[in-house]
Amino acid sequence: RMVTPKPATPKAIVPLISDIANTLGRFDRVSVGFPGVIHQGLVKTAPNLDASWPGTDLVGELERRLHKPVRAANDADVQGYGAIKGQGVEMVITLGTGFGTALFINGHLV
């Protein structure tokens, strides 16, 4: 566990993620759960981080640093994929600095 830099800007966080990943040994790909709205690798909102996040190409920045394919999605959505059974209607709730939710129907994110 690492202390989140203050302010939590992309310039502070992205190198930290890269540094941590490089201590973990061999890996083939990276999945990122991000605390905000992220679409096609671009940060749209990050209400609990710094105002400089929107517009950041998080996936591109990490791919350049780690030389591996990277995918990123909302952190509640990522957690949900790991927790659901894939049957019926399932809701995932995340609590932290903020509050997040993900809704799945028969294993598909709504």
pTM: 0.87
pLDDT by residue (tens digit) across 23-67?
A: 999 999 999 999 999 999 999 999 989 999 999 999 999 999 999
Domain architecture of the chain: domains with CATH: 10-84 (3.30.420.40)
- The Cα–Cα gap between 60 and 88 comes to 35
Please report, for residues 15, 26, 68, 94, the alpha-carbon distance to residue 9 in angstroms, rounded to integers and kept in the order given. 10, 27, 22, 22
User: What is the SS3 assignment for 20?
Assistant: helix
User: What is the SS3 assignment for 38?
Assistant: strand
pLDDT by residue (tens digit) across 67-105?
A: 999 999 999 999 999 999 999 999 999 998 889 999 999
